[in-house]
Chains A and B, each alone.
Chain A
Amino acid sequence: MYNDKVIEIFKNPKNIGDLKDANAIGTIGNASCGDIMQVFLKIENNVIVDAKFKTFGCAAAIAASSIATEMIIGKTVDEALTLKNADVVAELGGLPAQKIHCSVLAEEAIQAAIKDYKEKNNG
C-alpha cells in the first residue's frame, strides 16, 4: 500500500524530536483519532532555520512529518505558509487514499506553528 519512498522515510525519518530552542510550536490532531503531529520551528529573521517533529501516528503520518519539516527548512515564514498537503503528497511520491489526511495534518501542524510564532511576536 505504501510506495518505497514512504517506507524508506518511515524507516529513517529526519528531524525527529524536541527542538530545545524552538520559538514556534504547532500541535494538530488528537490521540483518540489515532494521530497527533507536533512541529517545532526555530525562526530567525523570518526564516525557518531549523524544524523538528514528534508524531503519534501511522507510517504515513511519520513520513509526512519528516518530509514536511525537510521541505520548510531554509524557507521564509511566508513561503512555508504556502506549503499545501498536495505538495507533501507529491514529495512522498503519493499516499494511499485513506492516508491523505496525514499530509493534511503536516500542512496544518506547520501552519499552527507559524501562527504560534506570529502570535508570540505580535503580542
Chain B
Amino acid sequence: MKIYLDNSATTPLNPHVLEAMLPFFTDKFGNASSIHSFGREANRAVSEAREIIAECINARPSEIYFTSGGTESDNWALKGAVYVSKNKYKHIITTQIEHPAILNTCTELEKQNVEITYMNPSKEGMINPKELSNLITENTILTSIMFANNEIGTLQPIKEAATICREQSVLFHTDAVQAMDSQKIDVKELGIDMLSMSAHKFYGPKGIGVLFVKTGSRLGKLINGGEQERGLRAGTTPTPLIVGMAKALEISVRDREKNNQRILRLRNMFIDRVLSEIPYVYLNGNRENRLPNNVNLSFAFIEGESVLMRLDLAGIAVSSGSACASGSLEASHVILSLGVKEELAHSTIRFSLGVDTTEQQMDYVFNVLKKTVDDLRRMSPLYDYEKGIGSYV
C-alpha cells in the first residue's frame, strides 16, 4: 500500500487538469506573443486562464502576473518593491516562520543594506498583527506575512495585518502558497497588495505560479527580456502550464467546501487518536487557526528522520520539517521559533492530507505510526521502555 501524506510538499496533478493542458503542448503550441493565428489561439487561452484565476481571488485579470512558481513570486515581490523604492533607508517587516523563499530573499536583501525585522510567533505559531504598529517606521516599504505556514499550517491574521499596513502606506504582501487550496481568498476584502501562489500545491502543474499585484502598486522587474506579462516579467509564456493552473484553481474553488469538510474530519480524528493513544506526543501550532489538512507532531525521545524512514518503508510518505529543509541536519526554524526545545524539534513530523486521503488509509497510518514510535523508543537512550518513562539528559 502506498499512502501519500505530503500534500504540502506537492500534490498530484488532477487528471482533468492534464486533459486541459495536453492540446497546448501539441496542436495548440503557438507562442502567445505571436500575432498569427497560432499565437492568437495560445494568447486567447492565456487570457481566459488569467480571468479565471483573477475571479478566484476577486482580482482584475490585469493584476495577475504569471511566474515560475511561489519562490519566484516571493523573490519578485520583495526585490521588486526594494528596486523601485526611493527611500534612502529601506526597511521590510516579515516573520520568523516564513518559507525559505522569503527568508533567504531577506538575507540577500540585508546584504544590500535593506533592514529586515522578523516578527516572532506566539508559542502556538500565530503572528500578532498589533505589533506591526510599533514596528513600522518611515523607512518601511513592505510587510510580508505568510497566509498559512507550510510546516505547522497556522493561518495568520492577514486582514488585520494588511489593514494596519494600508493605514501606514506600507505595501502588504502575503505568501499564500499553502493556503490557496483550502482558504477562500478575496484580495479586495482582505486588503492585500501582493500575493504569491503556486499551482502544484492545488493539484496543478509544477513550474507555474502567480504574483497578484494590485493596480497602482509599484514593482520593479526581477527578470529582464521580452515584453511578456505587460513588460514586467519576461520569458516565453508557458501556455500549457497557465491553462493547467487555471483549471486546477477552478476545480479547487469548486470543490473546496466539500474537500475541506472531509479532510478536516479525517485530520481531527487522526490528531485525537495520536494524542490520546501515544504518550509524549505534542501538536505544534494552534489547533483551530490551521489548514484543514495539516498535522505537525513532535514525538519525544526519538528522531524525526528515523520516524519518516520507518513510515516510508511501510509505504507512507510524510515529511520531517519541510521538504525544502530536509537533508539539512538542523532542526526546523519554524518549530524552534515556537520555543520548542531543540531536542524535541528534531522529533517533528508533518502529515499533510489531500483529496485522495481516505479513512482506511489514516487507520493504517495510525497503526504503523504507533508501532514505529514504540520500536524507536525501545532503542532510544532517552526512554526507559519497561517503565514507559522518558527524559532528556
Contact = CB atoms under 8 A, between A and B. Distances in A.
Interface of A: 1-2, 7, 10-11, 13, 16-17, 27, 30-38, 53-59, 61-62, 98
A56 B331 contact: no
Contact of B327 (A7, A34, A98): A98
A55 B380 CA distance: 5
B329 interface: yes
Contacts of A33: 342
Interface of B: 301-303, 305-306, 309-310, 313, 327-329, 331, 341-343, 346, 378-382, 385, 392-393
Contacts of A32: 341-343, 346
A36 B380 CA distance: 8
Given A7-B313, A36-B381, A55-B379, A31 B305 contact: no
B303 A34 contact: yes
Contact of B306 (A17, A30, A37, A62): A62
A13 B310 CA distance: 12
A17 B379 contact: yes
B393 A31 contact: yes
A7 B309 CA distance: 9
Contacts of A57: 303, 306
A59 B378 contact: no
A56 B305 contact: no
Nearest to B328: A98
Given A57-B306, A59-B305, 11 more contacts: A16-B378, A31-B343, A32-B341, A34-B331, A37-B381, A54-B381, A57-B303, A59-B306, A59-B309, A62-B306, A62-B379
A86 B301 CA distance: 28
A61 B306 CA distance: 9
B341 A17 contact: no
- Which of the listed residues A13, A38, A55, A61 has the most CB atoms from chain B within 10 Å of its own CB? A55
